[in-house]
């Protein structure tokens, strides 16, 4: 039956090529716009590490002053980063399966050849667990181990682009790189890795480029590495860098991996006990206000999806709606123009339902054709968006993955129904007799 309906639908479309082209174009335009903005929203809102997003937790402790909240608009929230002292204390716990505190910095790299000028590279200063926790893929070698971290070894993991720049893309494990005019040994090279959004560090926006260098956190003090992200404090400090590390300034992100619900509960208890202990000592003066949020919760709280993305999603879908409504008129004209033929079919025994179904099938055929064209169009529009928003970025930010292709098809089918339901209903109610007399 469906094959028959499809054949009739195809015939009908062939008979009115211009009208059919118009219908297909209408849906294509709507689907292109809608899919484009559904994709941009999807890219920014999707789970960046499915499979582990429920096991990775972001740690927050409230070390702020009791006189005022950290965020006036959301006074119940603790600060979004931790202080150095907090991190050092918390890292002592062996409860989490893995844990990593980190921050980003700009370090100077001195290329081998004296002709090339030194350049700044975005660096993630972190602990070795970071790589396994976030499933960072390696091209060559691997991260440093706990021993190297404890020994404050001058070791570095390179990003693929920097490896290309310094070593032509070769396996550079074991080679030396001068960073901040000190020799660092390369232990590994990371394959191109740019999680979008950059969930593990959402300060300064979640669409930032990934880091190009990774060095041990333990080097922070001796190299006096300062954060290139946000640093907030409520109590000014003076003195040297070491004093800064002892202050209540917050500038570090800390993640822990807790594979089971029980592990999570244990860690939460540990945090509560820790804060309590610090309160006794007099260091933490606010009531207990810890947070342990998994990846999705953290992304929601930090509003990783820019409001504009939501706006454009709504507008994109409404645009598709307008295109569909547009088509209702054309379809009405087309279907009602064929009323005599339908009258004959009904006289020959076709039921109302089958007439309705026939015409709906025709609409969906148009919709699928339009959807295909629209998806092709949306690859173009997404490329334009990429160019507008991420100039000179290594990787395309917005791309159509399988899910989005599916979404595009679904949108097209929905548009077909919106456009075709009323005209199909009108034509199926044609009384057979009315049109039989006229020539």
Partner 1 sequence: MELGPIFRAVMHQKGRFWLVALEVAITLAIVVNCVNLALDLRGKYDRPTGLAEEELITVQVEPYTEELADEDYRDVVRERDLEALRALPGVEAATAISAIPLSGGGSATGRRARGTEDEPSTTPYFVVSSGAVETLGVELVAGRDFTAAELAMRTEDFEGETTPAVVSRAYAEKVFGRPDPIGMVMESSEADSSEYVVGVVDRMPNSWPDYEEAAELSVLMSGRPGDHRRAYYMVRAEPGALDAVFPMLDEAVLGVEPRRIVEVRTLLDQKRETFAANLALVKILSAIIALLVFVTGLGVVGLTSFSVTQRRRQIGTRRALGATQGAILRYFLVENWLVIGLGLALGVGLTYGLNYALAEAAAAPKLGWELLAGGAVVLWAAGLAAALWPALRAARVAPVVATRTV
Site residues, partner 1 (CB under 8 A): 26, 29, 33, 67-68, 72, 106, 108, 110, 117-120, 180-181, 226, 235-238, 307-308, 310-312, 314-315, 318-319, 321-323, 325-326, 328-330, 332-333, 336, 385, 388-389, 391, 438-439
Q: Min. distance of Cβ 75 from partner 1 in angstroms? A: 12
Q: What residues contact 259, with CB distance under 8 A and at least 6 apart?
A: 55, 97
The number of residues in the chain equals: 439
Q: Which is nearer to partner 1, 97 or 221 (CB)?
A: 221
Q: Which is nearer to partner 1, 273 or 384 (CB)?
A: 384
193: its two tokens: 């890795």
Sign of CA dihedral 303, 309, 311, 314: negative
- Does residue 207 contact residue 396 with C-beta atoms inside 8 Å? no
C-alpha closest to that of 66 among 235, 230, 231, 238: 235
Q: Min. distance of Cβ 266 from partner 1 in angstroms? A: 38
Q: Which is nearer to partner 1, 138 or 234 (CB)?
A: 234
Q: Which is nearer to partner 1, 11 or 108 (CB)?
A: 108
Q: Which is nearer to partner 1, 6 or 417 (CB)?
A: 417
Q: Min. distance of Cβ 146 from partner 1 in angstroms? A: 29
Q: Min. distance of Cβ 119 from partner 1 in angstroms? A: 7
**Number of neighbouring beta carbons within 10 Å of residue 427:** 23
Q: What residues contact 147, with CB distance under 8 A and at least 6 apart?
A: none
> CA-CA distance, 346 to 259, in Å (whole number)?
64
Q: Which is nearer to partner 1, 12 or 99 (CB)?
A: 12
Q: Which is nearer to partner 1, 29 or 157 (CB)?
A: 29
Phi/psi for 362 (5° steps) reads: -60, -45
Q: Got the DSSP string for 221-240?
A: HHHT---SS--B-SS---SS
Q: Min. distance of Cβ 278 from partner 1 in angstroms? A: 21
Q: Min. distance of Cβ 28 from partner 1 in angstroms? A: 12
Q: Min. distance of Cβ 79 from partner 1 in angstroms? A: 15
C-alpha closest to that of 140 among 112, 160, 123, 154: 160
């Amino acid at each position: 039956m469906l094959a028959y309906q499809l054949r009739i639908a195809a015939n009908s479309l062939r008979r009115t090529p211009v009208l059919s082209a118009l219908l297909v174009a209408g849906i294509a335009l709507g689907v292109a716009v809608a899919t484009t903005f559904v994709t941009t929203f999807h890219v920014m809102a999707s789970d960046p590490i499915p499979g582990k997003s429920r096991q990775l937790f972001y740690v927050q402790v409230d070390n702020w002053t009791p006189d005022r909240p950290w965020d006036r608009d959301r006074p119940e929230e603790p600060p979004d980063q931790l202080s150095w002292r907090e991190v050092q204390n918390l890292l002592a716990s062996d409860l989490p399966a893995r844990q990593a505190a980190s921050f980003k910095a700009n370090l100077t790299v001195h290329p081998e050849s004296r002709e090339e000028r030194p350049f700044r590279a975005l660096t993630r200063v972190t602990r070795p667990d970071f790589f396994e926790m976030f499933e960072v893929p390696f091209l060559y070698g691997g991260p440093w181990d706990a021993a190297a971290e404890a020994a404050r070894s001058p070791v570095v993991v390179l990003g693929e682009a920097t490896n290309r720049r310094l070593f032509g893309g070769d396996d550079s494990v074991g080679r030396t790189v001068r960073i901040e005019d000190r020799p660092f040994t390369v232990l590994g090279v990371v394959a191109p890795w740019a999680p979008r959004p950059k969930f593990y560090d959402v300060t300064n926006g979640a669409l930032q480029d990934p880091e190009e260098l990774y060095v041990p956190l333990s080097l922070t003090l001796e190299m006096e590495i300062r954060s290139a992200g946000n640093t907030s404090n409520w109590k000014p400090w003076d003195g040297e860098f070491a004093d800064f590390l002892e202050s209540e300034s917050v500038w570090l992100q800390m993640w822990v991996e807790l594979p089971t619900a029980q592990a999570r509960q244990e860690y939460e208890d540990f945090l509560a006990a820790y804060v309590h202990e610090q309160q006794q000592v007099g260091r933490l003066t606010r009531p207990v206000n810890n947070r342990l949020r998994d990846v999705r919760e953290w992304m929601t709280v930090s509003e990783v999806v820019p409001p504009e993305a939501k706006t454009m999603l709504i507008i994109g879908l409404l645009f598709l709606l307008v295109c569909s409504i547009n088509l209702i008129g054309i379809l009405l004209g087309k279907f009602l123009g064929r009323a005599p033929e339908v009258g004959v079919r009904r006289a020959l025994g076709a039921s109302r339902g089958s007439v309705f179904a026939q015409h709906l099938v025709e609409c969906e055929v148009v919709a699928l054709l339009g959807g295909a064209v629209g998806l092709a169009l949306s690859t173009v529009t997404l490329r334009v968006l990429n160019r507008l928003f991420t100039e000179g970025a290594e990787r395309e930010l917005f791309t159509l993955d399988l899910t989005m292709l599916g979404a595009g098809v679904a949108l097209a089918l929905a548009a077909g129904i919106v456009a075709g339901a009323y005209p199909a209903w009108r034509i199926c109610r044609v009384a057979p007799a009315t049109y039989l007399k006229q020539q």
